[in-house]
Structure 1
Amino acid sequence: MRFLVFDIDGTLVDSQNLLVAAQEATFAAHGLPAPSREQVLSAVGLSLAETFRALAGPDGPHAALEATYRVAFPRLLAEPALASPLFAGADALVRDLAGRQDHLLGIATGKSQRGVRRLFDAHGWHRLFASVQTADDAPSKPHPAMLEQAMGEVGALPGETVMIGDSTYDMQMARAAGCRAVGVGWGYCRVDALREAGAQVIVESIEELAAVLAHSDSARALGAAV
């Protein structure tokens, strides 16, 4: 068995416009200058609490910003211009992998459980993932707790577990948990930063990711890199 754990934002879902707009609205509501797009995207993957510590600095009004964001985000979800589509091929990949008897799928994300349920409702994914770990359930990435809890739920060992994500936090979390780490190059983080954070393999397309996960030679190479 292989346990494949996916990040969401920047890995399966292209949510960057929504995330940036939500931060702009949040900071504007408090009369604060909004962080740049680059700054917002660099914090994707963290829990909300850690996101605002990163974006507003150590002395910022973190709790107030978080409360405002929790109101702004669902309001902006309804705007067509801020739609968050799946990356092309993501749905087919997830369904193919979930249908294989020798694979289990999991989620490890900075989203809330409510956000994950919304995604699963939209795409009919509720039965495809054996474990869902969110910012509601564990310390923020890169702490290894999400992966450790996920492995405990399904009975997987670190050597059988692959974390697939687009952020340095995903790669660091995987390494801290003793798992394999696959970085995706289409997300919100530079490829060189993913490599420095511990990615053993970096893929540039959904098709390349599918090939890495499906071919035994690639799987052995990935395992040998741990």
Structure 2
Amino acid sequence: MRLVLFDCDGTLVDSAGLIHETMRRTFAQFGKPEPKVADTKSIIGLTLDIAIARMQGKQHADQEDVDMTAYYKSLFSVVRQDLNFKEPLFPGIRELIDEIGPRKNLLIGAVTGKSRRGLNLVMETHGFDRYFVVGRTADDCPSKPHPAMVTECCDETGIRPEETLVIGDAIYDMQMAKAAGAKAVGVSWGYASVGELKEAGADAVIHHPSEILAHIG
């Protein structure tokens, strides 16, 4: 039995446009300079308050960042409806999940900087809730690259980190996986470069979801 843990934003779904627009409106509300798309992409995967702090050059979140986080959360669903963002699956993801979801020798889960509500929405929208049996979000654990999201999923399923594969697009995913003692596989279709993923500790970097099959057997 093996455990396969997927990051969400940038790995399963392309949510950069939605996240950036919500971030842009949040920064404007607080009188901040408009962030660049590249700046937004660089923090996707982090817990939201830390992400907002990092975008402003701070290592730790202060009260203003906490306030901005609350405003962002209140705005997210509004922006999603206004602009009809659907957080589409990346090409090949549906076929992959439909292929591995029913396997008896695998358990599938999610480890994401999204809120629990945000993860549930993605799972329900794309019909993945019937396959994903475990998950940890920003509401449950410290921000990536802390290993808790992975280790708690391992504890819940009874599968050791050495038998766990973490798949993600961000350097934080790779660092989290290695800190937990799991195998780290980076994906090139997300928001970090191949070089950044390898430098962060990726055991492999793949370029299409179908390539994941070779790593899970």
Q: What is the TM-score with the length of structure 2 in the denominator?
A: 0.94
> Given the alignment of the two structures, is residue 114 of structure 1 paired with residue 148 of structure 2, yes or no?
no
Q: 1-side partners of 2:173 and 2:11: how far apart?
A: 10
Runs of 5+ unmatched residues, structure 2: none
State the one-letter code of the partner of 2:180. Answer: A
- Displacement after TM superposition at 1:25 (Å): 0.5
SS of alignment partner, residue 78 of structure 1: helix
Asked if structure 2 preserves the Cα contact closer than 8 Å seen for 1:53 and 1:60, the reply is no
Shift >6 Å, 4+ stretches:
none
- Aligned ranges for residues 143-154 of structure 1 at < 5 Å? 143-154=146-157
Aligned to 1:209: 212
* Preserved contact between residue 4 and residue 166 of structure 2 (Cα < 8 Å): yes
The alpha carbon displacement at 1:89 in A equals 1.6
Who is 1:66 aligned against? 69
Q: Which amino acid aligns with 2:164?
A: T
Using the alignment, how far apart are the partners of 1:156 and 1:87 within structure 2?
28
Q: Which moved more, 1:76-85 or 1:86-95?
A: 76-85
Q: Does 1:170 align with 2:173?
A: yes
CA offset at residue 211 of structure 1?
3.6
Report what 2:80 is aligned to.
77
CA distance, structure 2, for counterparts of residue 82 and residue 28 of structure 1: 20
Of residues 145, 148, 162, the one that matches 1:142 is: 145
Superposed CA RMSD in Å reads: 1.4
CA distance in 1, matches of 2:126, 2:84: 19
| Shift in Å, 1:212 | 3.4
What is the distance in 2 between the residues matched to 1:134 and 1:182?
19
Amino acid at match of 2:13: V
Cα deviations across residues 119-164 of structure 1 (Å, max 9, x unaligned)?
Answer: 1221222221121100000000000000010000000111100000
* Percent of aligned positions that are identical: 42
- Kindly report which structure 2 residues correspond to 1:1-226, keeping only aligned pairs within 5 A, or say none: 1-58=1-58, 61-80=64-83, 82-214=85-217
Q: Secondary structure at the match of 1:130?
A: strand
DSSP-derived class of the 2:34 partner: coil
Counterpart residue identity of residue 42, structure 2: S
- Once the two structures are superposed, residues 89-111 of structure 1 have per-residue CA deviations (whole angstroms, 9 ceiling, x without a partner) of 21221122111111110100000
1:207 Cα deviation after fit? 2.1
Separation of aligned partners in 2, 1:156 and 1:211: 20
Q: Alignment length, in residue pairs? A: 214
Once the two structures are TM-superposed, the CA of residue 81 in structure 1 deviates from its matched residue by 5.3
User: 1:21 Cα shift?
Assistant: 0.5
- TM-score when scaled to structure 1? 0.91
> Where does structure 1 lack aligned partners over 5 or more consecutive residues?
215-226
- Which string of whole-angstrom CA distances, capped at 9 and with x for unpartnered residues, describes residues 163-211 of structure 1? 0000000000000000000000000001101000000010011122234
CA distance in 1, matches of 2:83, 2:102: 32
The more displaced of 82-91 and 13-22 is: 82-91
CA deviation after TM superposition for structure 1 residue 45, in Å: 0.3
Q: What residue identity is the alignment partner of 1:10?
A: G
Contact 1:56-1:62 within 8 A present in 2 as well: no
